[in-house]
């Protein structure tokens, strides 16, 4: 049994690759089912955000990574190898990686808080294919993220992707006070962006969304005007900043929609901030005169100069992660040891019973009390034999070496893994420790 993750992120893949392999929430059940068939994994969970697509797996009787890369490569069109953009983490490294992700340590903007909710949502969406091991892993990752936010300053004052985008707009205009802005989308990213725009003094905010009620809800909280998509394009001539954060699977802002607005604007610049993945804005929009188009990858330079203070907190955060990885691994090792130890003792007891029955046939002349004494002797002898291996297996589980010992025990005594040994979802909740 191995815990692995295979995926790619903003560290390893450009945005044009990430947007192709990004998996929307409505796709998740189908993709999980496909991956389960391809990998023959015991457990699966999928995490897909604007910065990463990762598959967490408890392997079954075959390596899972080749099937994951094959699926992601198909999303790239089959001509590219997703593995060339990706990484694989195993066992403790896989657990530590998820803890870093959930804590914002692996984010494009160090310490950003949105990823915590995205990890939680990913776990909930994967419950049909996750069981005790991954459930515990994702639960504990959320606990680790909370500890790091509380015990360190990694997230203190940390910028979100949305706020970093607004800071980028300030570089174009110097100040956003009195400017007009339009936000496409009404999700969490758009909500934060609108709050940041208003706090910077944006005078008029227009929110457009396919679901008009969500746009209305957003402007009720932050002010502005709610529009439907079909109503927003004529308004492009009036705004200074267009921020896009929808869940559309393809670009919704095309050159043909922006070009007429730019002719009406004269020399006034238009700053377009595309923080969606897949991208909302067609790349050729950025070639128009006086259009300043920025996407997620452009945000790196915006925050590079003001994250050094947060980086100073990384050793403290890594210490929390190391501590929690060991706690998780001890739990996991113990989880694997208990059913194998039960199977081992049951197997040995059957051997004892068979040999006892064979011996008692030859000792049929003995009185019942003596026969009972032989039975008691056989039980005591077996318990003596099994006591030391049982104690050592539990001790190995406590110090993190249990999985290797379990595999050796299976091999030496022919204890093949079975469904009855699979961990159940009745494992104790991580938050109860």
d(CA 71, CA 279): 21
Residue 212: C-alpha distances to residues 184, 209, 358 (Å):
11, 6, 80
The candidate with the shortest Cα–Cα distance to 225, out of 241, 204, 243, is: 204
Q: Where are the beta strands (DSSP E) in 174-318?
A: 180-184, 204-208, 225-227, 241-244, 270-274, 291-294
Q: Take residue 289 and report the two structure tokens written for it.
A: 């005169």
Residue 232: C-alpha distances to residues 185, 198, 237, 275, 330 (Å):
12, 19, 10, 18, 55
Cβ proximity of 110 and 312 under 8 Å: no
d(CA 432, CA 378): 41
Residue 50 is a catalytic residue:
yes
Residue 257: C-alpha distances to residues 290, 323, 340, 421 (Å):
15, 53, 64, 59
Element (H, E) at 275: none
CB atoms within 10 A of CB 364: 7
CB atoms within 10 A of CB 414: 7
d(CA 423, CA 426): 8
Q: Take residue 316 and report the two structure tokens written for it.
A: 């403290």
Q: Take residue 372 and report the two structure tokens written for it.
A: 């009972």
Cβ proximity of 185 and 281 under 8 Å: no
Q: Which member of 50, 232, 244, 271 is catalytic?
A: 50
Q: In what order do the strands lie in the sheet with 225-227?
A: 225-227, 204-208, 180-184, 241-244, 270-274, 291-294
**Spacing of C-alpha 127 from chain mean position:** 13
Give the 3-state secondary structure of residue 3. Answer: strand
* Residue numbers annotated as active site: 50
């Amino acid at each position: 049994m191995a815990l692995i993750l295979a995926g790619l992120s903003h560290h390893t893949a450009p945005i044009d690759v990430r947007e192709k392999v990004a998996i929307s929430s409505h796709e998740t059940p189908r993709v999980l089912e496909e991956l389960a068939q391809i990998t023959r994994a015991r457990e699966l969970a999928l995490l897909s955000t604007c910065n990463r697509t990762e598959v967490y797996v408890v392997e079954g009787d075959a390596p899972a990574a080749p099937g994951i890369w094959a699926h992601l490569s198909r999303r790239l069109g089959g001509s590219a190898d997703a593995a060339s953009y990706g990484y694989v983490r195993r066992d403790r490294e896989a657990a530590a990686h998820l803890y870093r992700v959930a804590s914002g340590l692996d984010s494009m903007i160090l310490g950003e808080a949105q990823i915590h909710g995205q990890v939680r949502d990913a776990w909930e969406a994967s419950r049909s294919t996750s069981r005790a091991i991954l459930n515990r892993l994702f639960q504990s990752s959320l606990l680790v993220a909370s500890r790091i936010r509380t015990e360190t300053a990694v997230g203190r004052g940390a910028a979100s992707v949305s706020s970093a985008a607004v800071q980028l707009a300030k570089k174009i205009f110097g100040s956003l006070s009195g400017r007009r802005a339009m936000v496409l989308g009404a999700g969490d990213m758009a909500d934060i962006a609108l709050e940041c725009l208003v706090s910077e003094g944006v005078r008029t905010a227009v929110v457009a969304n396919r679901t008009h009620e969500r746009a209305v809800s957003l402007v009720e909280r932050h002010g502005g005007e709610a529009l439907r998509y079909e109503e927003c394009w004529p308004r492009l001539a009036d705004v200074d900043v267009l921020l896009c954060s929808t869940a559309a699977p393809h670009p919704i802002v095309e050159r043909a929609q922006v070009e007429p607005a730019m002719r009406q604007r004269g020399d006034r610049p238009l700053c377009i901030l595309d923080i969606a993945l897949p991208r909302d804005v067609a790349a050729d929009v950025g070639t128009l005169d006086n259009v300043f188009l920025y996407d997620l990858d452009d945000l790196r330079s915006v925050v590079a100069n003001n994250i050094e203070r947060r980086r100073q907190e990384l050793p403290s955060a890594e210490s929390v992660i190391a501590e929690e990885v060991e706690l998780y691994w001890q739990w996991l090792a113990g989880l694997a040891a208990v059913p194998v130890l039960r199977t081992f003792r049951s197997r040995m007891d059957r051997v004892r019973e068979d040999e006892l029955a064979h011996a008692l046939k030859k000792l049929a002349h003995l009185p019942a009390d003596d026969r009972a004494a032989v039975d008691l002797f056989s039980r005591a002898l077996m318990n003596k034999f099994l006591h030391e291996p049982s104690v050592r297996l539990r001790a190995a589980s406590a110090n993190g070496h249990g999985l290797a010992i379990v595999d050796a025990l299976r091999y030496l005594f022919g204890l093949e893994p079975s469904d009855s040994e699979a961990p159940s979802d009745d494992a104790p909740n991580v938050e109860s420790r």
